[in-house]
């Protein structure tokens, strides 16, 4: 297999199913497969498409990593970060209460650092301002139509390289269900992708202004990238409809909150604020439901 690499990565007691689960939240995502003991992800790297396969459980404390494709070496070099090795939870010691109990239950969860900026950026742009169900369907259509078959992983597809997207017009993305505003953002991001990839040499908070200089990348997308691409343990995702109320419900049993209230509740947990948000999601708790959103129109019918 072209450029195949194999390595063993020490992971200690890391819960890899939980750690890598953050990359498999869209139902039917054609770029990723996750099940107990095995994770596969097809992605676009600066060197070309590549697939990383992680298996664990055969040898305690160690994960086996296989990478293939043009991006095999690039992915192999970044595998420890993907598996949470760069995340350091030391110093996180919640006071007695619900959060402490959650941390006791999920203390082996770690924050993955992908460094696959273009893949993550396209993934999040598609999710802007739409339901998870709509985003999943649109992402599937986009990747199926424009992506590359995953090296060494039948059934998976790598997202299209930025150059392939940059050549399109916004109307070309309508057939996937992506309306003009998100289409324009995706096209702007694709054209800026080579420049943006260099930002990974910087800390997430330093890189954020440059990310936000791209039209359509606002606080929500930039903060999501900080948590996923950079693996930032302290970045709080802002501008989200549901996260503030989730955090407030888990930490203070308040059913509704805005960003300001969420940040107030999280302040005492610096530099682990995103870790607290992850624990809120892992808790399984959810605030009382509000009325459903009005259905969106499918731009493919326009």
Is the CA virtual torsion 68, 30, 80, 71 positive or negative? positive
Q: Which CATH class, in words, describes the domain spanning 5-90?
A: alpha beta
**Which pLDDT band, with edges at 50, 70 and 90, does 139 fall under?**
very high
Tell me the pLDDT tens digit for each residue of 231-268: 999 999 999 999 999 999 999 999 999 999 999 999 99
**Which pLDDT band, with edges at 50, 70 and 90, does 290 fall under?**
confident
Is 91-302 a domain of CATH 1.10.340.30? yes
User: What whole-number percentage of the chain has pLDDT above 90?
Assistant: 94
Q: What DSSP string describes the chain? A: -TT-EEEEEE-TT--HHHHHHTT--STT-TTEEEETTEEEEEEEETTEEEEEEEEESSSTTEEEEEEEETTHHHHHHHHHHHTTTT---TT--PPTTHHHHHHHHSTT--------HHHHHHHHHHHTTS-HHHHHHHHHHHHHHH-EEPTT-TT-EEPPPHHHHHTS-GGGGGGGT--HHHHHHHHHHHHHHHHHHGGGGS-HHHHHHHHHTSTT--HHHHHHHHHHTS--SS----S-SSHHHHHHHHHH--S---HHHHHHHHGGGTT-HHHHHHHHHHT---PPP-PPPPPPP-GGG-
**Which pLDDT band, with edges at 50, 70 and 90, does 3 fall under?**
confident
Same fold, 5-90 and 91-302: no
**What pLDDT, on a 0 to 100 scale, did the predictor assign at position 301?**
46
**What pLDDT, on a 0 to 100 scale, did the predictor assign at position 182?**
98
pTM, entire model: 0.94
**Which pLDDT band, with edges at 50, 70 and 90, does 289 fall under?**
confident
List the domain boundaries for the chain. Answer: 5-90, 91-302
pLDDT at 292 over 70: no
Overall average pLDDT of the 82-97 stretch: 97
């Amino acid at each position: 297999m072209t450029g195949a690499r194999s390595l063993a990565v020490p992971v200690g007691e890391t819960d890899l199913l939980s750690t890598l689960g953050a990359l498999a939240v869209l139902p039917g995502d054609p770029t990723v497969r996750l099940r107990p003991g095995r994770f596969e992800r097809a992605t676009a790297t600066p060197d070309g498409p590549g697939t990383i396969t992680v298996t664990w459980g055969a040898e305690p404390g160690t994960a086996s990593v296989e990478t293939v494709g043009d991006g095999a070496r690039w992915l192999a070099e970044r595998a420890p970060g993907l598996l949470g090795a760069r995340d350091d939870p030391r110093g996180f010691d919640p006071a007695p209460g619900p959060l402490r109990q959650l941390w006791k239950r999920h203390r082996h969860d770690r924050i993955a650092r992908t460094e696959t900026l273009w893949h993550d950026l396209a993934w999040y742009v598609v999710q802007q301002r739409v339901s998870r169900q709509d985003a999943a369907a649109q992402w599937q259509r986009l990747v199926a139509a424009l992506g590359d078959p995953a090296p060494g992983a039948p059934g998976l597809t790598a997202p299209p390289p930025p150059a392939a997207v940059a050549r399109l017009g916004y109307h070309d993305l309508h057939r996937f269900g992506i309306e003009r505003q998100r289409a324009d953002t995706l096209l702007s991001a694709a054209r800026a992708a080579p420049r943006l990839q260099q930002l990974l040499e910087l800390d997430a908070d330093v890189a954020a202004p440059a990310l936000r200089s791209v039209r359509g990348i606002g606080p929500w997308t930039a903060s999501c990238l900080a948590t996923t691409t950079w693996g930032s343990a302290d970045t709080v995702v802002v501008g989200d409809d549901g996260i503030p109320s989730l955090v407030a419900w888990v930490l203070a049993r308040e059913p509704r909150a805005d960003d300001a209230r969420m940040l107030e509740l999280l302040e005492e947990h610096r530099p682990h604020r995103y870790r607290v948000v992850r624990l809120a999601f892992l808790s399984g708790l959810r605030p009382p439901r509000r009325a459903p959103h009005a259905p969106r129109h499918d731009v493919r019918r326009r």
